């Protein structure tokens, strides 16, 4: 998302990230990687659960519970136009481009 900011802005898309991390940790992460977009804290995981982005996943053969890397395209009225689960960071922008061109 960071590397596609100009393209996103030109398309009228506002990128935001959300995680269960505390704001201070997010700020450090954002500064370290110079993200350039808003990071929101979901420390009670309510939003992640509501969007289906929190749940069971496998990591190195072990079943754990945690964030399921997801991306959503939401219009100005709150309607979800696209949802991608278990999406790899490099796949997010191509999937977004495809949804925007549909």
Handedness of CA 64, 66, 70, 76 (dihedral sign): positive
Distance between CA 48 and CA 68 in Å, rounded?
9
Q: Let me know: does 38 contact 17? Beta carbons within 8 Å.
A: yes
Residues 83-95 pLDDT 10s: 999 999 899 999 9
Residues 3-46 pLDDT 10s: 888 888 898 899 999 999 999 999 999 999 999 899 999 999 99
Distance between CA 54 and CA 47 in Å, rounded?
9
State the residue range of the domain holding 22: 2-101
CA 51-43-80 angle, to 5 degrees, is 20
Domain count, the chain: 1
What is the separation, in whole angstroms, between the first and last Cα of the chain? 20
Predicted TM-score of the model (pTM): 0.83
CATH code for the domain in which residue 90 is found? 3.40.30.10
Handedness of CA 50, 78, 28, 8 (dihedral sign): positive
């Amino acid at each position: 998302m960071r590397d596609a900011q100009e393209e996103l802005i030109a398309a009228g898309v506002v990128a935001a990230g959300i995680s269960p991390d505390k704001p201070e940790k997010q700020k450090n992460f954002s500064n370290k990687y110079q993200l350039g977009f808003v990071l929101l804290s979901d420390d009670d995981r309510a939003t992640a659960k509501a969007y289906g982005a929190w749940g069971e996943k496998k990591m190195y053969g072990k079943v754990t519970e945690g964030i399921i890397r997801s991306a959503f395209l939401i219009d100005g009225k709150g309607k979800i136009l696209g949802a991608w689960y278990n999406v790899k960071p490099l796949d997010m922008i191509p999937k977004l481009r495809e949804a925007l061109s549909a």
